[in-house]
Amino acid sequence: MVVRVMNRFGRAGGAGAPRRAGARRAGARPVRARGTLATVGVAVLVAATLIATGTPSGATGPGQAGPVGGAAGFDGGGDDPGPVVRPAPPLAGGTAAGSAGAEADVSYHGHVSFWNGHVGIWLTTANHGPAPVSGATVRLRFSAPLASGVTLPPSCLRTGPAVVHCGTGSMRAAGVGVQLALDVATVGNRAEMGLDIDTVWNGGASDRNPANNTHRVLTLATGDPYTF
């Protein structure tokens, strides 16, 4: 007697029977293998895009902010391009006399008197050119300290116990500048007084004749004028 076993669908088990759950066809790739291949394919596509655009891996794009505290330049833009060179400020007294190659001949002439511990100075400034000067600073150095509370002209300033600086103001080429008059008291009773006169600033001009603005005068306490 032949017994036929029927499944619940009414068909005999064989070639036409439905597959069991989880069964796969011969030659089909597993699901895990397909996912791995998809990931590799995406990675290859991304790498090709980065090479074509020249963007290094991990770099921020134009619309993305870089890391906080990154190497931004001093001017606040992008990656560090190196030190930002700022223009230097102009020098003081920037006139024609302060330009390269300008030449001016500043001169000081006058006389000095010394009596009863007082020094009288009468000084006239001039510029023999060829370039004008925006101003000059003449320095007066005494061989004895000055008394406290001495009165000086508005353009003069005491810068040490025995040193006074005075400004001449601007002087045109081949022109006469200001006249300075000082009457200052010194400390102690002396028989003579020495005075050194020179220039500490002349607007940046070169002066090929410093002999007429550099003087050393020795005066006796007689009140007589000593010219320079």
Can you tell me the mean pLDDT for 186-201?
A: 96
pLDDT band at 203 (very low <50, low <70, confident <90, very high): confident
Task: Give the Å distances, CA to CA, from 201 to 89, 96, 107.
Answer: 18, 15, 13
Give the pLDDT confidence of 150-170 residue by residue, as tens digits. Answer: 999 999 999 999 999 999 999
In this prediction, residue 177 carries a pLDDT of: 85
d(CA 212, CA 104) in angstroms, rounded, equals 12
Token pair listed for 216: 């050393």
pLDDT-derived band of residue 101, with 50, 70 and 90 as boundaries? low
List 118's β-bridge partners, or say none: 115, 185
**Whole-number pLDDT of residue 9:** 44
pLDDT at 191 exceeding the cut of 90 = yes
Which of 27-31, 83-87, 151-155, 184-188 bottoms out in mean pLDDT, i.e. has the lowest?
Answer: 83-87
Within 29-168, where are the H helices?
31-53
More confident residue, 217 or 14: 217
**Of 87 and 224, the one with more pLDDT:** 224
Tokens of 151: 């009165």
Whether residue 48 is predicted with pLDDT greater than 70 in this model: the reply is no
State the average pLDDT for the chain. Answer: 71
Helix (H) or strand (E) holding 33: helix 31-53
Q: Quick check: helix, strand or coil at residue 49?
A: helix
Residue-wise pLDDT for 124-155, tens only, equals: 999 999 999 999 999 999 999 999 999 999 99
Q: What is the mean pLDDT of residues 32-41?
A: 48
At residue 156, the pLDDT reads 97
Q: Compute the average pLDDT of residues 27-37.
A: 48
The residue with tokens 């833009």 is 77
pTM score, two decimals?
A: 0.57
